Structure 1
């Protein structure tokens, strides 16, 4: 008994700590660590807390073991205020604006360069060079073309005169606006008949667009197969063949006033559109003189060559009434 007691006393002396049986920590001498905060409270009362030996750092959470993140103040607040200070600096703001304008300019140049590979942007701008006076006169010419006398188009040595300076020049502004108005009027007509639906309006738009592109393609292929050389471009053909939407709008609106007036209005606008197209294209496809569009003598204008051009002109003119009836038959009020 004395030997066992002596052994226990030696183990409790400083320098000979007894291993902690639960966690393997050496149990300190009670005399050495007399601070009660060194030990845990609650169910684990009397268990030594090693974290209490070192003073707690203000930047450390002893409970979670995570670095302390100060709230408010410090470098983080300065970092958040840097964009505001940057924008408030006039020199830096001007530099940022100049850099943004430079990027926009480079993007526009790249876009124009890619578009010019397929379509000339300057050529497209020519077809939209119109003003209010030209639009009013051209609409009157499309609806009442029978009194017009001079159908020739004046040309500069370099390029054709812009549409706003020449009434007989083709443009794409009126066809584009007439196409959109045709869709809107069609939606109103279907709404009056209680047949309107977004899907139906989408089908109407896609159908009209497909037929317009198909018409241009057929005319272009016919020109190629008949070996007819003219100054007409694809945009010219698209413009002349799309003027019929103005007459189609008139026919559909006439059906709002009186349903039986649709057929009478359609007959008149079809005749007006066909007359306008034939007289406008005659100076392009069938010149009056024996000289072709390029100013050179060409024997093909007499005989078989002249007949081919006449047939093409009649085909393009006669196609307009058929297309006008096909695209408005479902929209007019019965």
Structure 2
């Protein structure tokens, strides 16, 4: 009876709930533990949770022992470190590298396929197949062509002979390097005359490039209008017509030594370039004995066809001195 009366009194006292019979000890005073998180929820509401006194571990959940996932910045940090962990895996890194190489290979094949529709890359490589010995001999031939005797071009039925094996074959390496050197020498000459400016050098480069392309276009249209069939390609015409930049460099450099030497040097290199061009193209445009440059019979070389070819050859040769003077007249020292 006393125990029942005591239990009723404890229920009437504020802030002192009835003890739970399973545990056999009274619920601590609410005033001592005022934090609501210290008490269980659900069916055991109001019962003191001893585990709530222990501080939560920063790495594990107290109840389940699972890794602790911080809220907010922790997720971003974990997600940010995932690519690093992915790349540190050798298998994944190897797969990524193989996939990247595969994409690069497919892109290169697509680019080559699109370029081959307009320009054959193997054909361009042929014109740049040169070596040091060929470049030295070809430069000497361009400056001193009068002593050269054999102007024939070797021919291979399977593929054209590369320039490094044939001195008389056209190439694009020397014209390209000569064009760049011409621009640099022109800039130096303008600097000596205190007339240099970046805009002027850009105008010089664009002007020379436009005239070079225009010259090739004029020769190609002339071949078409005169109905002349040759084995010359547009790259052959570009190569032969661009060898004049070597003589132009010589003329401009001669003006550095003596201004009056410019005209003498220009006359000589113009004659040398014209002689070289006529002799080189004669075996391809105007073959002798009614046979073309590769030993094939062609009856169209006689009569009126031969005259047209002679006129074309003289036109291409006579155009070189005029172009050389036009492109160097403002660069040489007065």
Question: Is the shorter-chain TM-score for this pair beyond 0.5, marking a shared fold?
Answer: yes
Residue 284 to residue 10, structure 1, CA distance change in 2 (3 Å) = same
Deviations 1:236-264 (A, max 9, x none): 00000000000000100111111111101
TM-score (norm 1): 0.78
Residue 25 of structure 1 corresponds to 25
Kept after mapping to 1: 8 A contact 2:155/2:294:
no
| Deviation larger for 172-181 or 36-45 | 36-45
TM-score (norm 2): 0.78
Distance (whole Å) between structure 2 residues aligned to residue 181 and residue 299 of structure 1: 43
Residue 300 to residue 78, structure 1, CA distance change in 2 (3 Å) = same
Distance (whole Å) between structure 2 residues aligned to residue 19 and residue 303 of structure 1: 131
Residue 96 of structure 1 corresponds to 96
Residue 55 to residue 224, structure 1, CA distance change in 2 (3 Å) = same
Kept after mapping to 2: 8 A contact 1:130/1:173:
yes
Deviations 1:138-194 (A, max 9, x none): 111101111111111101112210001100000000000100110111111111111
Deviations 1:209-258 (A, max 9, x none): 01000100110111111111110000000000000000000100111111
Residue 24 to residue 266, structure 1, CA distance change in 2 (3 Å) = farther
Deviations 1:111-153 (A, max 9, x none): 0000011111110010011111111111111011111111111
Distance (whole Å) between structure 2 residues aligned to residue 2 and residue 10 of structure 1: 12
Give, in angstroms, the shift of residue 76 of structure 1.
2.7
Distance (whole Å) between structure 2 residues aligned to residue 149 and residue 269 of structure 1: 19
Unaligned segments of structure 2, at least 5 residues: none
Distance (whole Å) between structure 2 residues aligned to residue 114 and residue 24 of structure 1: 89
Deviations 1:85-128 (A, max 9, x none): 12222211111111111111110000000001111111001001
Give, in angstroms, the shift of residue 291 of structure 1.
2.6
Residue 106 of structure 1 corresponds to 106
Kept after mapping to 1: 8 A contact 2:271/2:321:
yes
| Deviation larger for 13-22 or 126-135 | 13-22
Distance (whole Å) between structure 1 residues aligned to residue 110 and residue 203 of structure 2: 35
The Cα RMSD (Å) is 7.9
Residue 176 to residue 66, structure 1, CA distance change in 2 (3 Å) = farther
Residue 42 to residue 110, structure 1, CA distance change in 2 (3 Å) = closer
Residue 295 to residue 20, structure 1, CA distance change in 2 (3 Å) = farther
Q: Tell me the matched-pair count.
A: 334
| Deviation larger for 311-320 or 90-99 | 90-99
Give, in angstroms, the shift of residue 35 of structure 1.
12
Deviations 1:246-304 (A, max 9, x none): 00001001111111111011011101100100000000001012134575543332221
Distance (whole Å) between structure 2 residues aligned to residue 194 and residue 286 of structure 1: 47
Distance (whole Å) between structure 2 residues aligned to residue 53 and residue 220 of structure 1: 96
Residue 54 to residue 273, structure 1, CA distance change in 2 (3 Å) = same
Distance (whole Å) between structure 1 residues aligned to residue 169 and residue 224 of structure 2: 23
Residue 104 to residue 44, structure 1, CA distance change in 2 (3 Å) = closer
Distance (whole Å) between structure 2 residues aligned to residue 191 and residue 22 of structure 1: 105
Residue 27 to residue 75, structure 1, CA distance change in 2 (3 Å) = closer
Residue 273 to residue 52, structure 1, CA distance change in 2 (3 Å) = same
Give, in angstroms, the shift of residue 14 of structure 1.
15
Distance (whole Å) between structure 1 residues aligned to residue 328 and residue 127 of structure 2: 27
Distance (whole Å) between structure 2 residues aligned to residue 3 and residue 65 of structure 1: 42
3-state SS of 1:200 partner:
helix
